[in-house]
A and B are shown apart, each in its own frame.
Chain A
């Protein structure tokens, strides 16, 4: 048992890789493919939960201080590639597998048969996400970013149609350019320090001479820009709303995680660099201003959006902006509420995207308001050889049980999602925003100006207010206008994932105490990366017991 647990860190990467490849080999047996895909996500969920349990130091003979280091190929740390699990990583892994599970099950209702290759790409996307969270090596981080981006290109185009291809074109061009920046940054850092291992890097910064130091900082800045493109900071985020809102519903739900990968990378690399010397980290005031601009952009976009999917995409941008603002305040107390907000906003956005997929079926005809600005996603079912498009009026290709009281369910879920996005009680969005504001107001800051804090509080409140106003307007049009809509036929398999994510948020609310305690320990280990660095260095080869 213990021997098996030693290799647990590779499970979230290897499982989707193998299953994704296996699915490619069985093109014509749909049930087998779907079962394999769901099984793989369940295995990842189990692995993530076990890792989460291990980082609580419940098994002290295995891991100390919540950090587990795995040397791939048993090469010791600075030479080989390491996978490192700490509490932050474990939390992100769990979040990934939960959102992945929900959107995969949702996709089984119809979306996964629209075009071939969906299940493989979905598995590779999860592999890229898990790998990016796990890796302790900068270049490996690049590789996993590319894995997740390459599959996200495919998934964004899933379902095809002019609007998806057009937004996909922009999305791919922007992300390819960001990848080049990533490579330049990594190469400069390697050229100056001679290492790619993040823990080793943190040690070597202090040994640099001043000439090399300035080049190193330039490299770190370029790397930071690459991360921020992923995180969707203004003005590098104009691709985001269009790309996310044209993606098919289950894909958009997973995409809710993608911007948070950028935020993750900023926190991970930033805290490690900050351990050597505050000046080298790219977590500073720049992030605050960038985040504030992103929040403004998101809020204006929310007011302007005429479609629910675009509105949710702008709220994703705004939540990313809030996270960056909070990081820019450089208040260590703020990290735990920030992580809580990250988890809550990802779950809420994922639920909202899937709900949007359901409410789109209520329309008898499409809204012509801004049709040329952002055409509704149209699916070329026929082009991909799918005989019958899923028609809401006819009980074709039943996969699950249709549920009664469809409108009541949609309305209730909509209200819950609004509460989550806006941060109103009683759901977890409120707790997250309240905790952030509480910390900002109560703790004294080292900056002499207090307007930073008040600007942050104003941003938190404004995003909430904007979300309430904009979403209420769309909600009125969706649910209370009598003309031009029909009661859709909902299947349990589509309703379940939405309800699952909302219940998870409810669980976050009820279990806010223990969750916050865990996140506080995660934040502590983030801001004291000496443990992380020491454990990565000291780890000798894993003894493989037969």
Chain B
């Protein structure tokens, strides 16, 4: 009997183990998420650089304290009613959305589940958090990454999606309320 035949069982077991590890660590994360491209190739860098916009110019708090979120079309068409430069992407944007007055179906990276209550105004005005602390260097990006959407739960898997553990950790560090009712009304 050869050495292989002698240890056949153990070798096959090990092969299964290694296959599972490879699939589990490499293959599964790729398969779990679908990558949904953004409908417009938008450059934060150009808008904050050349155009001189700040985060709150488009992502603002309304007078009643609610957060406007991703800007609606009228914010964009305020400047882009006509092409401002010669890029094909801008022309495509105007043809597809501005001219027919059609809202842009942005993919939201950081949308929380329905059972979570999150208030931007508390975190900006009371906790004095900077946008970058949760959303990273989004404002300096030249393109928008595709949104990673969990195929099973439907929730975001994008890097700046704050999961519950991240929220709890930050609350713990800052001594903020960490009870269930703080976020789950």
To the question of whether A and B form a pair in one complex, the answer is no
Residues of A that sit less than 8 Å from B by CB: none
